[in-house]
Amino acid sequence: MQSLHNKRVILGLSGGIAAYKAAELCRLLIKAGAEVRVVMTEGAQAFITPLTLQALSGQRVHTDLLDAQAEAAMGHIELARWADLILVAPASASFLARLAAGEGSDLLSTLCLARRGRLALAPAMNQAMWHNAATQANLLTLRQRGVEIWGPASGAQACGDVGLGRMLEPEALAQHAADCFANGLLAGLRVTLTAGPTREALDPVRYLSNHSSGKMGYALAQAAVEAGATVTLISGPTQLAAPERLQLIPVQSAAEMLQACQQHPADLFIAVAAVADYRPAASAPHKLKKDQESMTLALVRNPDILATMAASTPRPFCVGFAAETQDSLRYARGKLQAKGLDLIFANDATATFGSDETEAVALWQDGEHPLARAGKAQLAREMIQLIAARMALRA
């Protein structure tokens, strides 16, 4: 279940005896690498205490929609945006009905209505309630809206009945959660990504660089791994842990980054790195001293890594990023044309460097598609889906 590494999961509990299984489910999700926050309805708290889930998750358990402290910053909306996946387990018949009707009468249903990521429900109820026509109609409505229904299982129930309605076991639900983030959109393809800043040495201790954190590039690398690709991540200096199941090649300068890119042929090349446009004409062999009132630096232009890869033979499908401080769409479309790219993502540099959230507009030769503001992990998966769709059209 490595695909749950660094994923953000809201584990929601509605009222039902199966709520006791949520403790083990929470433990398994965290063991698989997910960050879990728990939301409980009033009914769920009658079966298992918030303190139990708080101890397991290591996070405050959310129970109230009208929490004055949290809502000062619109806490329920921020929590909904935070999640890559909302998993409601157990999801009672009553909760299914409220959600199908679009009610936001408690914190959990409100989060489901305001979500950006995926929503999955693990039904748990008496077998007669499961087969009731109203329940089945609600399930159909939810499925048509893109909600995933995991289960139920069949077997003995707490009331003594036997049949469909048992919540899936925690192990099965944790596996379903992992499968959410493992798809085959790029199965078998070689993907090379660049990420982070570059550093251009002035002397042994100083350099020219920028504020790029590398978060977007690393998120895209992880999303490409989940999509089944063989990924090479060529990264400038960052403070980020390397994603699993890929080859990480650390570099410092633009010249080193270009050399690494050329040594790793790919079917898909995604240039996310904020590469320095210029480097010092000469790097001093020793630390420069402040023995003058002013200093003039001579700079020379760095090679354009993305344009070089777009002109290479065989040519990969080339995707660029345009992080601008003004007129981002105009500049991005200019780069798309000038460098001969297949796709480019335009965003605001001042709003993305160092942030955990961003938004972007995807541009190609005869079209564009906006991507709403979201966490970079979620946005990366949307970008990979779009890239895969554009590659399929070119094939």
**Measured CA distances, 148 to 15, 23, 33, 64, 367 (Å):** 19, 21, 22, 25, 31
Confidence band of 206 (pLDDT split at 50, 70, 90) = very high
> Mind spelling out the 3-state secondary structure of the chain?
CHHHCCCEEEEEECCCHHHHHHHHHHHHHHHCCCEEEEEECCCHHHCCCHHHHHHHHCCCCECCCCCHHHHCCCHHHHHHHHCCEEEEEEECHHHHHHHHCCCCCCHHHHHHHHCCCEEEEEECCCHHHHHCHHHHHHHHHHHHCCCEECCCEEEECCCCCEEEEECCCHHHHHHHHHHHCCCCCCCCCEEEEEECECCEECCCCCEECCCCCCHHHHHHHHHHHHCCCEEEEEECCCCCCCCCCCEEEECCCHHHHHHHHHCCCCCEEEECCECCCEEECCCCCCCCCCCCCCCCCCEEECCCHHHHHHCCCCCCEEEEEEEECCCHHHHHHHHHHHHCCCEEEEEEHHHHCCCCEEEEEEEECCEEEEEEEEEHHHHHHHHHHHHHHHHHHHC
Query: What's the mean per-residue pLDDT of the chain?
Result: 91
pLDDT in tens, 16-52: 999 999 999 999 999 998 999 999 999 999 999 999 9
Catalytic residue at 159? yes
Q: Is 68 exposed, middle or buried (0-12, 13-18, 19+ CB in 10 A)?
A: exposed
The yes-or-no verdict on residue 232 having pLDDT over 90 is yes
The yes-or-no verdict on residue 231 having pLDDT over 60 is yes
List, by residue range, all CATH 3.40.50.10300 domains of the chain: 190-283+295-394
Residues 190-283+295-394, CATH architecture: 3-Layer(aba) Sandwich (3.40)
Q: What's the pLDDT score for residue 66?
A: 67
Q: What's the pLDDT score for residue 236?
A: 97
Q: What's the pLDDT score for residue 75?
A: 62
Confidence band of 369 (pLDDT split at 50, 70, 90) = very high
pLDDT in tens, 49-104: 999 999 999 999 999 876 655 544 446 678 888 888 999 999 999 999 999 999 99
Closest by CA position to 305, among listed 242, 262, 244 = 262
In this structure, whether the domain defined by 2-180 belongs to CATH 3.40.50.1950 is answered with: yes
Confidence band of 159 (pLDDT split at 50, 70, 90) = confident
Confidence band of 381 (pLDDT split at 50, 70, 90) = very high
Question: Percentage of the chain surpassing pLDDT 70?
Answer: 95
Among candidate residues 159, 180, 261, 318, the one labeled active-site is 159
Higher pLDDT, 197 or 356: 197
Higher pLDDT, 33 or 340: 340
**Mean pLDDT in residue range 224-246:** 91
pTM: 0.69
pLDDT in tens, 308-339: 999 999 999 999 999 888 888 999 999 999 99
pLDDT in tens, 111-154: 999 988 899 999 999 999 999 999 999 999 999 999 999 999 98
List, by residue range, all CATH 3.40.50.1950 domains of the chain: 2-180
Q: What's the pLDDT score for residue 72?
A: 44
